[in-house]
Amino acid sequence: MSVPSTDAVVIGAGFSGMYMLHRLRGLGLTTRLYERGDGVGGTWYWNRYPGARCDVESVEYCYSFSEELQQAWDWTERYPSQPEILRYAEHVADRFDLRRDMRFRTRVTRAAYDEATARWQVETDRGDRVSARFLITAVGCLSDARIPAFPGAASFRGESHHTGRWPHEEVDFAGRRVAVIGTGSSGIQIIPVIAERAAEVTVFQRTPNYTIPAWNRPMRPEYARWVKDNHAEMRRSMRGSPFGIAATFNPGSALEASEQERLDELEKRWAHGGPGFLGAFADTAVDPRANELVAEFVRGKIRQIVDDPRVAELLSPRDHPIGTKRPCFDTDYYATFNRPNVRLVDVRTAPIEEITATGIRTAAASYEVDTIVYATGYDAMTGPLLAIDITGTGGVPLRAKWAAGPRTYLGLMTAGFPNLFTITGPGSPSVLSNMFVSIEQHVEWIAGCLEHLARTGATVIEADPDAEDAWMRHVGEVAAQTLFPRADSWYLGANVPGKPRVFMPYAGGVGTYRATCDEIVAKGYEGFVLSP
Ligand code: NAP
């Protein structure tokens, strides 16, 4: 039986897969897109937990490629809620008629490169087999949800959910005793919302996080109008910025500023809220002394907000510099611990030992609960890629090639895997940026590359191993100049037992990275090998 063929297979119908499909169509290429969910939206399809909201401002967290889309869509709040982002994804799918090339509820299980034909042979869990010239992964960086292997978890008789696999039906917390394990971005968003609905909430915290108020509010009509009129300029500056957001990043030094200047700047940014807080002083990212001044400012805020000094201290991060774990932005997080129905349990000193039929037992005590919320994070960046059995030239598995950590050239390709592109792959700014900016840059770079191949008569492109080695060295060197390696973060794979400890994203900034990618193209795809 002959296997159907297509020009490209795209994996994932999140914002990267949707835009990639649109651009491939523009190039006249046939595409089949596989998505394991039942609809578009990627991370926003799965993360339906109460309080789920993006912490990049809505007017910045959206596509810029279509003027019509930009003018047609109106955001209702400063930060978009999960339901609104999902509506936006669905609107985009309809507007560009994307669904006709998508296969939902279908997981790609295997992809093997066949050197003889220079094609990818792709298989799914529903028995599809398809042959494609190009394989493009749009699997997201935080899509492989992870629940730690707590003994006894299966015996729990109540309801339990991971934030990243939240049910489509509403979860009823009324009158329930709820445990939340994890205090990263997801935990910090869900805890205040559950606290308002549940009888009691017990938060199991291993590492306290720094969180900055988001100060969400309804969209101001005059700002929305201004953005529609000026978005081209705004987007241009976001693309050239370090993190792909519009907030201003002060080049000044926290150490050189006087105490009053420093406090004024931090108060101003705290009052404004959101990711711009970390842009107060450039040396926060690289100098431990500067970082400590900003970290202590946040601890001071925690002491002001939280009534019980013991709880305030437990909520105060002291084991990692601010900004070295993904920063969190919240609505009423610290104040939630003043509620009589909320308690904080330190599982750093007394770890969780077991989940029982009726609750959670730590090394110090047992807690009876009706519902467990796992806000325990993801096997980030490499997890979703390595979940697929991908083999390249000579049958080498990607899992073997990346056994000691991911290796890529620009985060876009990996040597030995011709015509495989990884949108926002490890080695690119990805998770250290506004994902929309990074997604659009990668999709457009890949589309430009495929156009170049067609124009020059080349059919195969592959990363050169030496260029890849040099890029990986550069990624490591840039990370080593920052304070990032000082935290046990998912950026380093530290949250997954046994995962190689490698700083995965590129910390050089999206503006610098984009210039590098463009320069490589201008030099005739330097570091790539193109063949007919
Ligand atoms: P996360 O940041 O990895 O947090 C996981 C939490 O679970 C941490 O507090 C971790 O503690 C805890 N944990 C893990 N294993 C544990 C164990 N065995 N015992 C006790 N605690 C344990 O995951 P996340 O909160 O889902 O966020 C992941 C990323 O998704 C974010 O960093 C962000 O990039 C993205 N996100 C964004 C938004 C947004 O835009 N607003 C919202 C949600 C998520 P340790 O710190 O000690 O490991």
Pairwise CA distance, residues 433 & 37, whole Å? 25
User: Do residues 133 and 111 lie in contact, with contact meaning Cβ atoms separated by under 8 Å?
Assistant: no
Place of tokens 């003027």: 67
**How remote is the CA of residue 45 from the centroid of ligand 1, in Å?**
18
12 exposure class (CB count in 10 Å sphere: 0-12, 13-18, 19+): buried
In the prediction, which pLDDT does 1 show?
Answer: 62
Taking the CA of residue 329 as reference, the ligand 1 atom at the shortest distance is 41
Return the ligand 1 atom nearest residue 150 CA.
18
Q: What is the pTM of this model?
A: 0.97
Closest-CA residue, ligand 1 atom 24, reads 377
The confidence score (pLDDT) of residue 248 equals 83
CA 145 from centre of chain:
12
489 CA to centre of ligand 1 in angstroms: 9
What is the CA(226)–ligand 1 centre distance, in A? 35
Q: Which atom of ligand 1 is nearest to the CA of 163?
A: 26
Residue with the smallest CA separation from ligand 1 atom 28 is 377
Residues 514 and 417 in one domain: yes
Residue 520 lies in a domain: yes
- Give the phi and the psi of residue 325 in degrees, each rounded to 5: -105, 160
> What is the percent of the chain where pLDDT is above 90?
98
Q: Are residues 386 and 522 in the same domain?
A: yes
pLDDT at 514: 98
Residue 419 placed within a domain: yes
Take atom 34 of ligand 1 and give the residue whose Cα is closest.
326
Length reported for the chain: 532
Category of 244 on φ-ψ map: left (φ > 0), alpha (ψ -120 to 50) or beta? left
Question: Given ligand 1 and candidates 185, 210, 330, which is best to mutate, with the most ligand atoms within 8 Å of its CB?
Answer: 185
d(CA 241, CA 238): 5
Write the burial class of residue 87 (CB in 10 Å: 0-12 exposed, 13-18 middle, 19+ buried): middle
In a domain, 462, yes or no: yes
261 pLDDT exceeds 80?
yes
Give me the mean pLDDT over the 368-373 stretch.
98
Task: Quote the ligand 1 centre to 148 CA distance (angstroms).
Answer: 12
Residues 303 and 421 in one domain: no
CA pair distance 228, 345, nearest whole angstrom: 46
- Per-residue confidence band for 387, with pLDDT thresholds at 50, 70 and 90: very high
Residues 411 and 426 in one domain: yes
Q: Are 500 and 407 found together in one domain?
A: yes
Ligand 1 geometric centre to CA of 472 (Å): 26
Query: Residue 398: is it exposed, middle or buried by C-beta count within 10 angstroms (0-12/13-18/19+)?
Result: buried
In this structure, the residue with its CA closest to atom 3 of ligand 1 is 377
| Average of per-residue pLDDT across 167-187 | 97
Alpha carbon of 468 to ligand 1 centroid (Å): 30
pLDDT above 70 (res 60): yes
Whether 67 is covered by a domain: the verdict is yes
Q: According to the model, what pLDDT value does residue 290 have?
A: 97
Q: Which atom of ligand 1 is nearest to the CA of 376?
A: 7
Q: How far is the CA of 495 from the centre of ligand 1 (A)?
A: 9
Query: Residue range 368-388: average pLDDT?
Result: 98
Q: What's the structural domain count of the chain?
A: 3
pLDDT interval class at 247 (50, 70, 90) = confident
Rounded to an integer, what distance in angstroms lies between the CA atom of residue 517 and that of residue 440? 13
- Tell which of 284, 303, 320 closes a domain: 320
Do the domain assignments include residue 233?
Answer: no
Mean of the pLDDT values across residues 217-231? 97
**Chain segment 394-429, per-residue pLDDT in tens:** 999 999 999 999 999 999 999 999 999 999 999 999
Shared domain check, 424 and 518: yes
429-473 pLDDT per residue, tens: 999 999 999 999 999 999 999 999 999 999 999 999 999 999 999
Rg (CA), the chain: 23
**341 and 314 inside one domain:** no
Residue 220 lies in a domain: no
Tell me how far apart the alpha carbons of residues 451 and 449 are, in angstroms, rounded to a whole number: 5
d(CA 60, CA 63): 8
Residue 228 has pLDDT above 80, yes or no: yes
Report the DSSP beta bridge partners of residue 103. 34
Same domain, 137 and 13: yes
Residue span of the structural domain in which 189 resides: 145-209+325-377
pLDDT of residue 275: 92
Whose alpha carbon is nearest atom 37 of ligand 1? 185
Residue at a domain's end among 320, 342, 361: 320
Whether residue 329 sits in one domain with residue 357:
yes
In angstroms, the first-to-last Cα distance of the chain is 28
- The answer as to whether 240 is a domain residue is no
Average pLDDT over all residues of the chain: 97
Query: In terms of DSSP H, where are the helices of 47-184?
Result: 67-72, 82-95
HSE at residue 138, side-chain half, CA atoms within 13 A, is: 32
- Cα(165) to ligand 1 centroid in Å equals 14
* Pocket residues: Cβ below 6 A from ligand 1: 53-55, 142, 148, 163, 181-187, 189, 204, 206-207, 326, 347, 352, 375-378, 431, 490, 495
Mean pLDDT over 28-53 rounds to 98
SS3 per-residue string spanning 461-526: EEECHHHHHHHHHHHHHHHHCCCHHHCCCHHHCCCCCCCCCCCCCCCCCHHHHHHHHHHHHHCCCC
- What CATH code is carried by the domain that includes residue 397? 3.50.50.60
Q: How confident is the model at residue 2 (pLDDT cuts 50, 70, 90)?
A: confident
Atom 8 (ligand 1) nearest CA: 182
Choosing from 377, 412, 446, the residue where a domain stops is: 377
Cα–Cα distance, 456 to 450 (Å, whole number): 10
The Cα–Cα gap between 296 and 299 comes to: 5
Atom of ligand 1 nearest to the CA of 325: 32
The neighbouring-strand residues paired with 121 are: 112, 131
Residue 501 lies in a domain: yes
Distance 210 CA to ligand 1 centre (A): 12
Instruction: Identify the residue with better confidence: 298 or 247.
Output: 298
Check if the beta carbon of residue 92 is closer than 8 Å to that of residue 21.
no
Nearest to residue 133, comparing CAs of 106, 113, 108? 113
Q: Are residues 132 and 188 in the same domain?
A: no
Q: What proportions of the chain, in percent to the nearest 5, are helix, strand and coil?
A: 35, 20, 45
- Whether residues 251 and 170 fall in one domain: no
Determine contact, residues 112/121, Cβ cutoff 8 Å.
yes
Q: Are residues 277 and 137 in the same domain?
A: no
Which atom from ligand 1 is nearest to the alpha carbon of 181? 21
- Distance CA(150)–CA(158), nearest Å, equals 15
Q: How far is the CA of 204 from the centre of ligand 1 (A)?
A: 12
Question: Which residue's alpha carbon is nearest to atom 26 within ligand 1?
Answer: 377
Looking at ligand 1, which residue's alpha carbon is closest to its atom 43?
A: 186
- Closest ligand 1 atom to 326 CA: 32
